[in-house]
């Protein structure tokens, strides 16, 4: 039985977390400057710079004056700028807007990789690079709109230590680590974008606060949309398809960073379509992401206080949604306990206080995970009772809430649940009253 459970979790749990070297396993503290108000930004002078293919965007950024709103308008075409050896573009000044103009279907604005460049567009304060662990400053205000970033071996569009970012109507194509990647940033929005072809995540919100991810299309990546060690993240109206895993919500130990604003909670996923995430996992053999089983709609590992509601979860061949405790993973996958260096860095291994409600499950589990999970399963729950810091029977508020998840004909979504003491247990509902 133990061997079957071990194999079951090995298939179930997505340990394909490519821990970017820019994300170190230590607490990050940012010394914040007073945030500029919208009124102050409007009072500042504007400098509009118009560029065409062949011009150097980086040169224009470097020469632009500080303390003004810099708007760089790019005529359609390809921009290949070798000025910076690490970045396609490096933005280090406040209130910069990069606006790509279009000219019909054939007139797009693209930023392409050249030489040894690793990251496509990187916005962060001066002196705080994408592999740095700490920063003593904050960049205020960054917008990129209408621009395609393509072919970089690390990340496509990345912010780090940025307060007030907007990634709008842009595309990340075949940027091999992560596509759209706000890290240690706040007060941001990713809207109306496309991200495809990343070996880690199409969109990854990591160590960030007050971020909205709206109306995007994410496909052909290992994980479509991923959230870790963040707070107040709203993910809505996205189309997430043809990934290995559609949505991933992962424990702090799996993120590789520990920002100084726990608890990491209030992630809301609603009105998304998570479909056909059956992409063959072609990650490099032996890499973390190579362990990820395809056919998974949503995977939740050891996180608390999150909400998944009113989504359509369809056609994911392994199962629709899975919830697993962190120590379950530690024990069954790695053969270690949750003590000392293996202890949860946020002090809690449980998947608790999560609300999974009013979702529609359609034709999931076509294949299942034979011989461990039968076909036709929409929801999988696996967690030891010992992982709850306070026993659920003593405080129902720590429990999860699975409620009103149905198939198109109104029947309850199918499930498989175990706490290792017994199989065939019902899905948790103790947290439903506290979530109302």
Give tens-digit pLDDT for 146-190: 999 999 999 999 999 999 999 999 999 999 999 999 999 999 999
Is 235 a residue whose pLDDT tops 50?
yes
- The residues spanned by each domain of the chain are 1-18+202-436, 42-198
- The band of 434, judged by pLDDT with boundaries at 50, 70 and 90, is low
Question: Token pair for residue 198?
Answer: 């990343």
Is 394 a residue whose pLDDT tops 90?
no
Q: Strand 223-228 and strand 245-250: pairing?
A: parallel
- pLDDT for the residue numbered 290: 76
- pLDDT for the residue numbered 181: 98
- The band of 342, judged by pLDDT with boundaries at 50, 70 and 90, is confident
Is 111 a residue whose pLDDT tops 90?
yes
Percent of the chain at pLDDT > 70 equals: 88
- pLDDT for the residue numbered 209: 97
Query: What is the spatial distance between Cα 178 and Cα 158, in angstroms, rounded to a whole number?
Result: 9
- pLDDT for the residue numbered 33: 44
For the ranges 70-74, 83-87, 289-293, the maximum mean pLDDT occurs at: 70-74
Question: Token pair for residue 319?
Answer: 């199962």
- pLDDT for the residue numbered 103: 77
Question: What is the mean pLDDT of the segment spanning 339-347?
Answer: 85
DSSP string, 39-79: HHHHHS-EEEEEE-BTB-HHHHHHHSPSSSEEEEEE-SEEE
Q: Count the neighbouring beta carbons within 10 Å of the beta carbon of residue 67.
A: 9
Higher pLDDT, residue 184 or 6 = 184
Query: What is the spatial distance between Cα 324 and Cα 299, in angstroms, rounded to a whole number?
Result: 8
Higher pLDDT, residue 389 or 196 = 196
Query: What is the spatial distance between Cα 422 and Cα 325, in angstroms, rounded to a whole number?
Result: 16
- pLDDT for the residue numbered 308: 99
Residue 276, classed as helix, strand or coil, is coil
- pLDDT for the residue numbered 388: 86
Question: What is the mean pLDDT of the segment spanning 416-426?
Answer: 87
Is 38 a residue whose pLDDT tops 60?
no
- pLDDT for the residue numbered 83: 85
- The band of 344, judged by pLDDT with boundaries at 50, 70 and 90, is confident
Question: What is the mean pLDDT of the segment spanning 232-244?
Answer: 99
Query: What is the spatial distance between Cα 205 and Cα 4, in angstroms, rounded to a whole number?
Result: 34
Whole-number mean pLDDT of the chain?
88
Is 332 a residue whose pLDDT tops 80?
no
**Is 32 in contact with 163 (CB distance < 8 Å)?**
yes
Measured in whole angstroms, the distance separating CA 366 from the mean position of its chain's CA atoms is 26
**Is 10 in contact with 38 (CB distance < 8 Å)?**
no
Query: What is the spatial distance between Cα 423 and Cα 156, in angstroms, rounded to a whole number?
Result: 44
Q: Is the pTM of this model over 0.85?
A: yes
- The band of 3, judged by pLDDT with boundaries at 50, 70 and 90, is very low
Question: What is the mean pLDDT of the segment spanning 348-374?
Answer: 91
Q: Count the neighbouring beta carbons within 10 Å of the beta carbon of residue 45.
A: 9
**Is 307 in contact with 358 (CB distance < 8 Å)?**
no
- pLDDT for the residue numbered 373: 76
| 216 phi/psi in degrees, rounded to 5 | -105, 160
Question: Token pair for residue 51?
Answer: 């560029």
């Amino acid at each position: 039985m133990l061997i079957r459970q071990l194999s079951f979790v090995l298939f179930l749990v997505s340990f394909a977390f490519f821990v970017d070297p820019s994300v170190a396993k230590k607490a990050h503290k940012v010394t914040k400057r007073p945030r500029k108000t919208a009124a102050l930004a409007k009072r500042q002078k504007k400098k509009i710079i118009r560029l065409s293919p062949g011009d150097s965007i980086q040169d224009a950024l470097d020469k632009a004056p500080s303390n003004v709103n810099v708007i760089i308008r790019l005529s359609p075409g390809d921009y290949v700028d070798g000025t910076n050896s690490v970045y396609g573009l490096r933005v280090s000044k406040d209130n910069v807007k990069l606006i790509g103009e279009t000219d019909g279907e054939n007139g797009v604005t693209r930023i392409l990789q050249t030489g040894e460049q690793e990251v496509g567009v990187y916005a962060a304060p001066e002196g705080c690079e994408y592999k740095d662990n700490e920063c003593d400053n904050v960049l205020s205000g960054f917008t990129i709109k209408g621009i395609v970033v393509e072919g970089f071996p690390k990340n496509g569009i990345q912010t780090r230590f940025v307060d007030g970012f907007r990634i709008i109507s842009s595309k990340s194509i075949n940027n091999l680590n992560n596509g759209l990647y706000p890290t240690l940033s706040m007060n941001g929005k990713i809207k109306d974008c496309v991200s495809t072809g990343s070996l880690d995540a199409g969109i990854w919100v990591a160590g960030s606060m007050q971020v909205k991810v709206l109306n995007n299309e994410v496909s052909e990546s290992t994980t479509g949309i991923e959230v870790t060690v963040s707070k107040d993240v709203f993910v809505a109206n996205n189309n997430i398809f043809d990934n290995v895993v559609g949505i991933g919500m992962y424990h702090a130990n799996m993120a590789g960073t520990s920002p100084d604003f726990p608890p990491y909670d209030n992630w809301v996923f609603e009105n998304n379509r998570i479909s056909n995430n059956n992409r063959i996992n072609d990650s490099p053999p032996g890499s973390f992401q190579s362990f990820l089983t395809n056919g998974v709609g949503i995977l939740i590992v050891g996180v608390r206080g999150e909400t998944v509601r009113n989504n359509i979860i369809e056609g994911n061949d392994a199962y629709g949604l899975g919830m697993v405790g962190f120590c379950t993973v530690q024990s069954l996958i790695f053969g270690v306990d949750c003590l000392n260096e293996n202890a949860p860095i946020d002090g809690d291994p449980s998947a608790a206080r999560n609300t999974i409600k009013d979702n529609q499950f359609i034709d999931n589990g076509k294949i299942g995970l034979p011989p461990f999970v039968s076909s036709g399963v929409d929801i999988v729950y696996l967690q030891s009772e010992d992982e709850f810091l306070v026993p659920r029977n003593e405080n129902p508020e720590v429990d999860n809430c699975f409620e009103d998840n149905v198939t198109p004909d109104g029947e309850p979504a199918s499930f498989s649940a175990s706490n290792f003491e017994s199989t065939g247990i019902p899905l948790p509902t103790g947290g439903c009253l506290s979530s109302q």
